[in-house]
Amino acid sequence: MKEILEQIDLQDCPLCNGPSLLEEENGWCFYVMCMDCGCRTAEIPYKTPQERLQTARQAAHLWNIGKVLPSTPGE
């Protein structure tokens, strides 16, 4: 995961300017979330190890352009 994080630039949260975190979920998807307000991107799945880096980049891109799901009651 460290090698992926070195290749990806994450901006601060588009909603609250809090710190962001790229997460990998049990070896099948990536998403980015805010550590302050909890908003996040959709989960971007991958199937092969070769798709892993590109999927992480896609999740980061969605985050950096502001395509996030707010963490609000009733979501």
What pLDDT score was predicted for residue 4? 82
What pLDDT score was predicted for residue 73? 66
What pLDDT score was predicted for residue 2? 78
pTM reported for the whole predicted model: 0.89
What pLDDT score was predicted for residue 27? 92
Q: What is the mean pLDDT of each run of 10 residues along the chain (75 residues)?
A: 86 96 95 96 95 96 95 67
What pLDDT score was predicted for residue 58? 97
Q: Long-range contacts: 9-16, Cβ < 8 Å, 24+?
A: 9/60, 9/64, 10/60, 10/63, 10/64, 11/63, 11/64, 13/37, 13/39, 13/68, 14/39, 14/63, 14/66, 14/68, 15/39, 15/68, 15/70
